[in-house]
Amino acid sequence: MTAPEDDDDLQPLGVTCTSTDCENGLHCFLQKERKRSGFPRRGGPCRDCNVDLIAWDRVNARDLQDAAYTFEALRNELIRHVFWHSTFNEGELNHATRKGRLGMRDAARKRVESSVGRPQHPREGRQTPFSGNVLYHAQHAVAACCRKCIEYWHAIPADRELEPAEIDYFVELIMLYIGERLPTLADEPKKVPPRRRAVTVSAS
């Protein structure tokens, strides 16, 4: 199985949640005010150029019937754009193939529960790697990678556990992402031969 080719070959190195490239239509919607006790992070106009592109009431409604708009909105943010166009490596593709779509759904639920299901993760803001698993790409792409991003994109307070319906919502977003990025992924797992390691022959 191969991932469909993308127009961009952007890499996440050097990109953070607050990076922008406004001239190319890629922004950051996390507002600059400092978080105070009882004052939630929120999305709004771009923090650098002040362009106001997102209908936050639609995104914050967390309506799967409106997921197409949510994905359109997410792609306007630089960090999300990177992971909507990132290239999966061989190991990531093989892992997804071995799991199949059904296995990836189970893995997505476990991943959401363990990485963002509870508040105050010991590695908050860094609990989702940039690479190593298609699920990591998906979490960054749909802003379910840490509680800060969940709070300002999806309007869920960072100081409480996610409710079952909220976990279900993020699992569905992740699976919609996988469906778009890996449309040929089979439902059932498939065997993938292990990668052969290169053999180094020393000169005698």
pLDDT of residue 92: 98
Domain annotation covers residue 81: yes
Domain annotation covers residue 201: no
Q: What would the pLDDT profile of 18-51 be if each residue is shown by its tens digit? A: 999 999 999 999 998 755 555 678 899 999 999 9
Question: Model-level pTM greater than 0.85?
Answer: yes
Domain annotation covers residue 15: no
Average pLDDT of 174-195? 94
Domain count within the chain: 1
Domain annotation covers residue 116: yes
Domain annotation covers residue 137: yes
- What domain range is 91 assigned to? 22-181
3-state secondary structure 37-79: CCCCCCECCCCCCCCCCCCHHHHHCCCHHHHHHHHHHHCCEHH
Domain annotation covers residue 30: yes
For the chain, first and last CA: distance in Å? 40
Whether residue 196 is predicted with pLDDT greater than 80 in this model: the reply is no
Q: What would the pLDDT profile of 47-99 be if each residue is shown by its tens digit? A: 999 999 999 999 999 999 999 999 999 999 999 999 999 999 999 999 999 99
Domain annotation covers residue 52: yes
> Which of 166, 184, 153, 160 has the alpha carbon at shortest distance from 80?
153
Question: Cα 40 to chain center, whole Å?
Answer: 21
Q: Which residues pair with 77 in a beta bridge?
A: 27
Domain annotation covers residue 154: yes
pLDDT of residue 42: 87
Q: How many residues does the chain have?
A: 204
